[in-house]
Each structure stands twice: as structure tokens, then as C-alpha cells.
Structure 1
């Protein structure tokens, strides 16, 4: 569904793997701003 698209989008946007993105969502919930901040911290600069 929609969530799959989000996961793929985040993974490619921030240079993360799908499992890393899923872990972020599990840890931080589905708030986009929080997830983007965490993904930036983890991901490719």
C-alpha cells in the first residue's frame, strides 16, 4: 500500500536500506518530520 511507497522513497532519498527505514519507523513512529530528521542523521550526507 501507501506505506511501501513511503519506505522506498525514504530509503532512496536518504541512502538507507529498506530494513533501516523500517527500523526507524518502528522506533520513531510515522511522523514524517521526525523520520526525516533521523534519516538525515543516519543517512548519506
Structure 2
């Protein structure tokens, strides 16, 4: 029972961390997406 509870807690923590990281990365990507695309275009042209 204790093993099952710790496994469930670990899975829940991992899922929450993954969701938070994905949300934060998404917000950060929206702000710098245009700059990143411009840099990629300049690298492809040269």
C-alpha cells in the first residue's frame, strides 16, 4: 500500500511538473517565436 501510494504521488508530481514546464515554454515561445524565425531565415539566406 505504501509503495503504491508513493508511486502514485511520484507520477502525479511528474505530470504536474511536465504540464508546468510545457505551459511556461509555450508562453516563452510565443514571445520569441518571431525573433527565432527571423534568425533562422537570416541563417538560411546566408
Shorter-chain TM-score: what band? 0.3 to 0.5
TM-score, normalised via structure 1 length:
0.35
Higher-helix-fraction structure: 2
Larger Rg belongs to? 2
Higher relative contact order (CA 8 A, sep 6+): 1
